A and B are shown apart, each in its own frame.
Chain A
Amino acid sequence: MTEATTKTVGAAPAEETPTIHILWINAGLSCDGDSVALTAAMQPSIEEIVLGALPGLPKIAVHWPLIDFECGPVGGADTFIEWFFKGERGEIDPFVLVVEGSIPNEAIKPEGYWCGFGDNPETGQPITTSEWIDRLAPKALAVVAIGTCATYGGIHAMAGNPTGAMGLPDYLGWDWKSQAGIPIVCVPGCPIQPDNFSETLTYLLYQATGAAPMIPLDDKLRPTWLFGATVHEGCDRAGYYEQGEFALSYDSPKCLVKLGCWGPVVKCNVPKRGWMNGIGGCPNVGGICIACTMPGFPDKFMPFMDEPPGAKLSSTASGAYGAVVRKLRSITAKTVDKEPKWRRTGEKITTGYRPPW
């Protein structure tokens, strides 16, 4: 089967776009949850991206620790880390750098490392993740931060953390642009919604071939078509909110805002999109939104299971207004819950139709 693939490559049109390499560093302060989540994507799936199943996608080579074939010893045959040294030496051009996990502050301690990725051949000590970013970011076609840790610091940048963790824009600068003029692309989420990331990656690959214009990002560097609306705007429990019906226990199907849901102020598309294949989610299926896509996550939303202070006022208002709406709707609902009277058995037709005979 390997041969078959190779032959197809050989038969490709003469004018070939260069292979785009994807260098994936999962060794920020991370849990690898974004790598794992990406394997759940179906629109498109990773195998579809890698095997070029969508029309016009460029050839890519993914150097991704989670499922990479290569696993040879350092300096020996099939060494995974060698690709990162090649990237640094300019031997693979172009490449997209993907960073997973927050970036610790390595300057706050006398020695050692908070996180490393591969070893420095000179010293035998780990190369810190921040050092890799310093080496590779200036040479990358684009730099992508995957997950709320890499984008904004996330859970590992929580108050009281010992590592001084931060997001990639905090580290490189919010105005940082790649040599191709592309700002840092941030796909937040803890973890990322699978299709949100595969879609962003696909967009960037199209942009690299010249098929798509500059990726539209908002002021927090998020793709606008994915993060333009709030959770609440896409939540199917918003109807309960409008009618002033709030859950008082977590297993209620009603709106969860009094039990800790931050959906009305959080930019995320999960309730609208579902978690995967339209299944699952957060408040739409009984899980309070803890705002895991936001720069203020997690500190500005804790304790998670308390009602957001802002929700108190608006839910009281909707409580009063909602009672009236509910009353009126129940009257209408009774009417529309009955069939029109002409649907019946009998000798005569009473639908309003006049027979010609």
Chain B
Amino acid sequence: MARTKAAGDGSGLVEMAWDPITRIVGSLGIHTKIDFKQKRVAECYSTSSVFRGYSVFMRGKDPRDAHFITSRICGICGDNHATCSVYAQNMAYGVKPPHLGEWIINLGESAEYMFDHNIFQENLVGVDYCEKMVKETNPGVLELAERTEAPHAAEHGYRTIADIMRSLNPLEGEFYREALQVSRYTREMFCLMEGRHVHPSTLYPGGVGTIASVQLFTDYLSRLMRYVEFMKRVVPLHDDLFDFFYEALPGYEEVGRRRVLLGCWGALNDPEYCDFTYANMSDWGRRMFVTPGVVVDGKLVTNDLTDINLGIRILLGSSYYEDWQGQEQFVTHDPLGNPVDPRHPWNQHTIPAPQKRNFDDKYSWVMSPRWFDGKDHLALDTGGGPIARLWSTALSGLVDIGYVKATGHSVVINLPRTMTKPETSFEWKIPKWSNALERNRARTYFQAYAAAVALHCAEKGLEEVRAGRTQTWEKFEVPDEGLGVGFTEAVRGVLSHHMVIRDGKIANYHPYPPTPWNASTRDTFGTPGPYEDAVQNTPIFEENTPENFKGIDIMRAVRSFDPCLPCGVHMYVGGGKTVKSMHVPTGLSGLGG
């Protein structure tokens, strides 16, 4: 069935495409040119094939509908959008929710991290490292894994690295199935706080509709402690697995590696300080339990949300939109009097222009968000979220709540005693590289981080309940004219919502989730987006010939970013040779009975 052909440009490269990429969320295509002689990916293009047009159909609607609508942007992190929208609305309406309402949102969002990272790490990414996959791509590595004792076997119970890999086999693996169960009780924790998953029912501007009772917190805490115990096994398990790859495949640190260009917009507000005013945003931003920051080449450029806000630019270049140059500018100055750029989301106009896909010109529905540091338009990535969050929090050294402490070079996570395991501390240290394995490792550590912050928030929330302060919602009025911005960290990274209200209606609304940053295309300056950039640098370690090539290293590089769109790639093998191989289905196919 395979049609194979060399790249038409006489370069000797092989064109390959994956479409749709499975085990991610949404619609993303990766088109590559591979140099099989040098075992490297020479070129990569990232494309998304679905357009829905939220910022178009939200215009003219009641601003109070925004969180309900924007939640539907994403089916795995919709609650992050609802939360971000509620933050933006709180700013626009000038309302500050009761503390308890904020603790409840933090507990819901922490549960979202715990759920989402868990299901993605074990049931989507984990499969790339499972026995079955490694056997099909690097049989030599599996042999070595069989002979390699797991250093932390005492903590997680798997004797060899191959045992860990077997436990990750789809459906048949014990740990794979356990993770599915964990993804369920963490969603129950989420539903306790936000009503339902993934589109919350109890979230409102001004707070939440959740009835705050002792029962609510007991139900949450009982499940949380089970998760804490689970993490005491999972962190060492993944350390063993990912460390093994460095050992088994020297040079594997290059897979998915790119320059350290990380963005984190901060998450989980401290209600003692957060008043949702733009004027105080720099201050309360620094009080978040995940510190915002832009990290370039290992250095913290800023942790100031006002700077972060003003630096955002939306570029086009390879996307199916008409430019909005010369269109009306909604916001010329922010509430502090700082000038706002015409390419800032507050001023964006979305004008869809569907057309044929052409990799030399326009090839995606994703735009090119960049962060302007005063000199360059940086193609920041989030590394799937956790690596940027931990990096930024570690460098700022501001978080210190007992369960979590940022040291300036690391983050210490202290988990209390659980039913069968003693008190345990983990330290995430700033890694040497921003690459696929470190993105994955950070994901596991951040799960522990989220659980630790949740312990703090649950204690604070319960304090309010015990003191009888059970109000969770505050009244507000929608102004005729106003603007708001919400910043949070979606599971996969930076999330901002920019809203402009005129005549009491939405005049402009632009949500920017992490994936537009990560999956962005070549911009007007020709700078590739993060997936493109990371995949272009990826060496090929797979043992298969081009005919049986799966592109596992490319898939590992792309999935390390935790993409949130459906993907695609075409395969043309060099030399005009036709390959006729039909693979027997695996995974979810044909397992029944």
On A, residues with C-beta under 8 Å from B are 1-2, 5, 8-9, 12, 19, 21, 26-27, 29-37, 39-40, 42, 45-47, 49-52, 57-83, 85, 101, 109, 111-119, 121, 124-126, 154-156, 158-163, 165, 190-191, 249-251, 253, 256, 270, 275-277, 279-283, 285-288, 290, 292, 298, 302-306
Contact A162 B57 (CB under 8 A): yes
Residues of B within 8 Å of A58, CB to CB, are 592-593
Tell me whether B356 is interfacial, beta carbon within 8 Å.
Answer: yes
Contact B549 A61 (CB under 8 A): no
Interchain CA distance A121-B578 in the complex, whole Å: 14
Residues of B within 8 Å of A80, CB to CB, are 20, 22
Interchain CA distance A126-B29 in the complex, whole Å: 10
Which residue from A31, A57, A71 sits with its C-beta under 8 Å from B78? A31
Contact B20 A118 (CB under 8 A): yes
Q: Which of these binds chain A: B176-184, B277-285, B396-404?
A: B176-184
Interchain CA distance A35-B78 in the complex, whole Å: 13
Contact B76 A64 (CB under 8 A): no
Residues of A within 8 Å of B29, CB to CB, are 119, 126
Known: A8-B593, A32-B25. A2 touches B169 (CB 8 A): yes
Closest Cβ–Cβ distance, residue A299 to chain B (whole Å): 10
Contact B204 A1 (CB under 8 A): no
Interchain CA distance A34-B78 in the complex, whole Å: 12
Enumerate 23 A-B pairs (CB-CB under 8 Å) in ascending A order.
A5-B172, A26-B566, A27-B20, A31-B75, A32-B26, A33-B76, A37-B197, A59-B592, A68-B587, A71-B18, A72-B551, A73-B569, A77-B581, A83-B585, A111-B355, A115-B49, A117-B27, A117-B49, A250-B473, A279-B219, A286-B202, A290-B201, A305-B64
Interchain CA distance A49-B586 in the complex, whole Å: 16
Residues of A within 8 Å of B17, CB to CB, are 73-74, 119
Contact A73 B551 (CB under 8 A): yes
Residues of B within 8 Å of A68, CB to CB, are 22-23, 587-589
Contact A51 B591 (CB under 8 A): yes
Q: Which 9 A-B pairs have the closest CB atoms?
A: A69-B587, A287-B201, A33-B75, A280-B191, A112-B354, A286-B209, A303-B62, A73-B571, A31-B75
**B62 nearest CB neighbor, chain A only:** A303
Which residue from A124, A155, A191 sits with its C-beta under 8 Å from B69? A155
User: In chain B between 191 and 242, which residues have their CB closer than 8 angstroms to a CB of chain A?
Assistant: 191-192, 195-204, 206-212, 219
Contact A32 B472 (CB under 8 A): no
Known: A65-B566, A69-B127, A69-B587. A75 touches B199 (CB 8 A): no
Contact B60 A160 (CB under 8 A): yes
Closest Cβ–Cβ distance, residue A263 to chain B (whole Å): 11
User: 4 more A-B contacts (CB under 8 A) besides A62-B589, A286-B210?
Assistant: A51-B592, A57-B593, A65-B22, A125-B356
Interchain CA distance A36-B551 in the complex, whole Å: 25
Residues of B within 8 Å of A40, CB to CB, are 183-184, 187, 197
Contact B20 A287 (CB under 8 A): no
Interchain CA distance A5-B183 in the complex, whole Å: 25
Contact A304 B68 (CB under 8 A): yes
**B2 nearest CB neighbor, chain A only:** A75
Interchain CA distance A347-B376 in the complex, whole Å: 93
Interchain CA distance A303-B20 in the complex, whole Å: 36
Contact A73 B192 (CB under 8 A): no
Closest Cβ–Cβ distance, residue A219 to chain B (whole Å): 26
Contact A72 B209 (CB under 8 A): no
Closest Cβ–Cβ distance, residue A79 to chain B (whole Å): 8
Contact B50 A72 (CB under 8 A): no
Residues of A within 8 Å of B52, CB to CB, are 29, 156, 161, 163, 165
Residues of A within 8 Å of B549, CB to CB, are 72-73, 76-77
Interchain CA distance A289-B405 in the complex, whole Å: 41
Residues of A within 8 Å of B592, CB to CB, are 19, 49-52, 57-61
Closest Cβ–Cβ distance, residue A338 to chain B (whole Å): 26
Closest Cβ–Cβ distance, residue A157 to chain B (whole Å): 9
Interchain CA distance A114-B354 in the complex, whole Å: 7
Known: A33-B72, A69-B127, A118-B568. A161 touches B56 (CB 8 A): yes
Contact B572 A287 (CB under 8 A): no
Residues of A within 8 Å of B60, CB to CB, are 160
Residues of B within 8 Å of A109, CB to CB, are 354
**A159 nearest CB neighbor, chain B only:** B57
Residues of A within 8 Å of B590, CB to CB, are 19, 59, 61
Residues of B within 8 Å of A116, CB to CB, are 27, 49-50
Residues of A within 8 Å of B2, CB to CB, are 75-76
Known: A52-B593, A61-B585. A286 touches B195 (CB 8 A): yes
Closest Cβ–Cβ distance, residue B21 to chain A (whole Å): 6
* Residue from A76, A77, A156, A160 with most neighbouring chain B CB atoms (10 Å): A76
Contact B184 A275 (CB under 8 A): no
Tell me whether B73 is interfacial, beta carbon within 8 Å.
Answer: yes
Interchain CA distance A59-B588 in the complex, whole Å: 11
Contact A59 B208 (CB under 8 A): no
Interchain CA distance A233-B130 in the complex, whole Å: 47
Closest Cβ–Cβ distance, residue A128 to chain B (whole Å): 9
Closest Cβ–Cβ distance, residue A171 to chain B (whole Å): 16
Tell me whether B387 is interfacial, beta carbon within 8 Å.
Answer: no
Tell me whether B74 is interfacial, beta carbon within 8 Å.
Answer: yes
Contact A74 B587 (CB under 8 A): no
Residues of A within 8 Å of B49, CB to CB, are 27, 113, 115-117, 126
Closest Cβ–Cβ distance, residue B125 to chain A (whole Å): 11
Interchain CA distance A305-B201 in the complex, whole Å: 12
Contact B183 A39 (CB under 8 A): yes
Tell me whether B495 is interfacial, beta carbon within 8 Å.
Answer: no
Interchain CA distance A5-B591 in the complex, whole Å: 7
Contact A47 B65 (CB under 8 A): no
Known: A50-B588, A71-B550. A115 touches B27 (CB 8 A): yes
Contact B16 A73 (CB under 8 A): yes
User: In chain B between 30 and 59, which residues have their CB closer than 8 angstroms to a CB of chain A?
Assistant: 49-53, 56-57, 59
Contact B208 A31 (CB under 8 A): no
Closest Cβ–Cβ distance, residue A31 to chain B (whole Å): 4
**A290 nearest CB neighbor, chain B only:** B68
Tell me whether B511 is interfacial, beta carbon within 8 Å.
Answer: no
**B127 nearest CB neighbor, chain A only:** A69
Contact B209 A302 (CB under 8 A): no
Contact A304 B65 (CB under 8 A): yes
Contact A32 B53 (CB under 8 A): no
Indicate with 1 or 0, residue by residue over B544-555, a CB within 8 angstroms of chain A CB atoms: 100111110001
**A62 nearest CB neighbor, chain B only:** B588
Tell me whether B320 is interfacial, beta carbon within 8 Å.
Answer: yes
Tell me whether B409 is interfacial, beta carbon within 8 Å.
Answer: no
**A24 nearest CB neighbor, chain B only:** B588
Known: A42-B184, A68-B23, A119-B568. A31 touches B73 (CB 8 A): yes
Residues of B within 8 Å of A270, CB to CB, are 196
Residues of A within 8 Å of B119, CB to CB, are 39
Interchain CA distance A63-B590 in the complex, whole Å: 10
Closest Cβ–Cβ distance, residue B2 to chain A (whole Å): 4
